Amino acid sequence: MKSNPGCTDSVSAPPARECAVRLDPGGSPPTSSSPVAVRRRRARSRRIVLLALLASVSMLAAVAHPALAAGTSQVGQNVGREIASWARAIMLGIAGLVAIPVLARRDVAGGLVLALLVVIVGGFVFAPSTVESAISGLWHAIAG
């Protein structure tokens, strides 16, 4: 086994603490696929995921707090209003992101399906009372 400069060569002596980099039997420093490097990358990625999760939970708590704190008897209505406001804010953005691959492929049938879905979901999001009256009128026409 090759020794690192500043490390002891003696077999009987314990490893020196000043040895910063251990050399493998081939004489090269640890590579990015060595077990130590893999453990460090995993630990770093776990920390990043944990910080992202903590940030998202704190953001959710900050945003949802007014809706949930209004009253215990109106929790369902408050949460429903909160979800509806979020849906109004992000629906068209999501539809635009979904439309990018459809436009890139020049898929007319996919574009028509997406447009129909946006109109239907947009009706539920932007005009829920109108959709409710249309569904009840349709149900009364069918059921009698």
Taking residue 122's Cβ as centre, other Cβ atoms within 10 Å add up to 16
What's the pLDDT score for residue 112?
92
Which residue's entry shows tokens 């420093």? 29
Identity of the amino acid at 56: S
CA 66 distance to own-chain centroid: 24
- For the stretch 107-130, pLDDT in tens is 899 999 999 998 888 888 888 888
CB of 114 closer than 8 Å to CB of 98: yes
What's the pLDDT score for residue 26?
57
Averaged pLDDT in 10-residue chunks for the chain of 144 residues: 50 52 56 78 85 80 64 77 86 89 90 90 86 89 86
How far is it, in rounded angstroms, from Cα 138 to Cα 144?
A: 10
- For the stretch 52-61, pLDDT in tens is 888 887 777 7
Taking residue 67's Cβ as centre, other Cβ atoms within 10 Å add up to 17
